[in-house]
Amino acid sequence: AQSVTQLGSHVSVSEGALVLLRCNYSSSVPPYLFWYVQYPNQGLQLLLKYTTGATLVKGINGFEAEFKKSETSFHLTKPSAHMSDAAEYFCAVSVGGGTSYGKLTFGQGTILTVHP
Amino acid sequence: DAGVTQSPTHLIKTRGQQVTLRCSPISGHKSVSWYQQVLGQGPQFIFQYYEKEERGRGNFPDRFSARQFPNYSSELNVNALLLGDSALYLCASTLMRDQETQYFGPGTRLLVL
């Protein structure tokens, strides 16, 4: 079975600072990996995804993530935080097939706070 | 194009009652998944339906059931509600040719008193 661990339930940065949100996964087969963002009282918006190919993935709003198989990690970064980035971020893994068909397994989430 | 829509947006029920939540996928999407998000946690997978058949099921009791209609919309039913069923229920749709990318609706917030 697959699992996701997000290190740090809360991350606080200053506006303009680097954003780093950590995600480690566990999967017995090659995973598909996702980052979603959730603003208060809203659903989930896809930021980026890794399926196959290039390990550095670029997403919306200036975010990117790098798939590191040897470290089983998929950390999310943004060079310069903006106030509008304040939200909760979820890392998720999917392996598909069998009883896991269509199943995304999510981490616990990381709340990002951006200070002026 | 319209995204995934869900109704109602909010719902209050009492213990023991039954509830039905509705979801319409993005036009052209044939698969719908349901997730439960309890406050302070990540979403938990409940079901996936494709072409009106259940294709995936999470670790939820039989009180939870769902179905998909010919127009690919879906309903999630929960019977004998418990306080612990209070959560945000999210629906996601998938374009089968890109089946790993799920697009989420705004959710239905259910409060059980």
pLDDT of A98? 52
| Residue in A46, A2, A6 with CA at minimum distance from that of residue A23 | A6
pLDDT level of residue A54 (50, 70, 90 thresholds): confident
**Cβ <8 Å between A104 and B43:** yes
What is the pLDDT, as a whole number, of residue B2? 80
Do A102 and B94 count as a contact with CB atoms less than 8 A apart? Answer: yes
Name the residue in chain B with its Cα closest to that of A106. Answer: B42
Please choose, from the candidates B86, B111, B87, B94, the residue with its C-alpha nearest in 3D space to the C-alpha of residue B4: B94
pLDDT of amino acid B52? 87
Band the pLDDT of A2: cuts 50, 70, 90. Answer: confident
For residue A14, how many other CB atoms are within 10 A of its CB?
11
Q: Which member of B42, B90, B92 has the closest CB to residue A108?
A: B42
The minimum CA-CA distance between B99 and chain A, rounded to whole Å, is 7
- What whole-number percentage of chain A has pLDDT above 90? 72
Q: For A47, left (φ over 0), alpha (ψ -120 to 50), or beta?
A: alpha
Q: Is the pLDDT of residue A65 over 90?
A: yes
Angle at B79 between CA B99 and CA B52, to 5 degrees: 30
β partners of residue A110: A89
* Partner-chain contact A43 B55, CB within 8 Å: no
Q: What is the pLDDT along chain B (113 residues), one digit of tens a residue?
A: 689 999 999 999 999 999 999 999 999 888 999 999 999 899 999 999 988 888 888 999 999 999 999 999 999 999 999 999 999 999 999 877 556 788 999 999 999 99
Contact B90 A43 (CB under 8 A): yes
Distance from CA of B63 to the nearest CA of A (A): 19
Comparing alpha-carbon positions, the chain A residue that sits nearest to B106 is A43
Give the closest of B92, B100, B107 to A96, CB-based: B100
Per the model's pLDDT, the better-predicted residue between A113 and B1 turns out to be A113
Chain B residues whose C-beta sits inside 8 Å of any chain A C-beta:
4, 31, 33, 35, 40-45, 48, 50, 55-58, 90, 92, 94, 99-107
**Shortest CA gap B106–chain A (Å):** 4
Question: Is the CB of B33 less than 8 angstroms away from the CB of A36?
Answer: no
CA atoms within 13 A on the CB side of B22: 7
- Distance separating alpha carbons of residues A22 and A37, to the nearest angstrom: 14
Q: List, for residues A66-96, the tens digit of each pLDDT value.
A: 999 999 999 999 999 999 999 999 999 987 6
Q: CB neighbours (10 Å) of residue B110?
A: 20
Q: Quick one: DSSP state of residue A56?
A: E
